[in-house]
Amino acid sequence: MNLTHACSRSALLAALALLAGCATVGDSVVHAHIYDMNADGATLKFSNGGHCSRASNSLSFFLDDGVVLTLDDYENQPATLRIRIDLGVSRTFAFAAQFATSTLVPGAPPVVEVLPLIKHTPTAIPRYIVNTAVSVMSGPAPDAVFVSPNKSIAPKPITNQLFDADWDLETRVRRPAQYTLQLPDAIVNGRRVHLAPIRMTLREVTYTQDQCLR
């Protein structure tokens, strides 16, 4: 194979990779730390890092009909607190207080942490609205429609409303090896729900990640 043909073939392969949406340039082994999270009545989902993604853990409380509270911990970035409320304005969620507590050592005084402000983007408004943790959040109305700023995208019905907040899970000790996080009670569909304490244990994950060019 001559040099001209080899260069042309390499250029073609690179172009095809870019058209596919992601080109890779070399691999690297990543050693990262994320929290394993365990709580009675909750489910945990682990996503290992890899191609164009970082490692994460997601702990979800399925609180009542159509209401889910999720805490996501990501490698090297703030965690995310999310509330998803399915269709129906009668489906509602609010925290009963604006404070969570973290206990680093059993029997020690807990560290009080203020819950972050929670934001969402309502129908057809291209900016988010900020709620306090005790604000009442509700599902979309049955006739709610999402209208995209992109005129080529047709309006479509909204089936749920997402509320989320970035939350730095670090307590007064930077990324402690383990601690217990207690969220306040929640008022879900008019009913008070106690959230089980979340046991946080820091662990190392190792995976191979390519460099993603987008």
pLDDT: which is higher, 1 or 80: 80
pLDDT value at residue 175 = 78
Q: In what order do the strands lie in the sheet with 23-38?
A: 23-38, 198-213, 178-182, 99-103, 111-114
H-helix or E-strand containing 77?
strand 77-86
pLDDT value at residue 51 = 67
- N- to C-terminal Cα distance for the chain? 31
Q: For the whole model, what pTM was predicted?
A: 0.79
Interval 120-155: pLDDT, tens: 877 655 678 889 999 999 999 888 888 777 788 888
Q: What is the mean pLDDT of the chain?
A: 83
The percentage of residues in the chain with a pLDDT greater than 90, rounded to a whole number, is: 46
Interval 186-211: pLDDT, tens: 999 999 999 999 999 998 888 777 76
pLDDT value at residue 123 = 62
CB 169 within 8 Å of CB 97: no
CB 141 within 8 Å of CB 92: no
CB 66 within 8 Å of CB 158: no
Residue 62: pLDDT band by 50, 70, 90 thresholds? very high
CB 51 within 8 Å of CB 26: no
DSSP 41: T
**pLDDT at 159 exceeding the cut of 50:** yes
144/137 Cα distance (integer angstroms): 15
pLDDT value at residue 29 = 82
CB 110 within 8 Å of CB 171: no
Interval 105-121: pLDDT, tens: 888 889 999 999 999 87
Q: Summarize the confidence of residues 42-49 as an average pLDDT.
A: 88
Q: Summarize the confidence of residues 25-43 as an average pLDDT.
A: 85
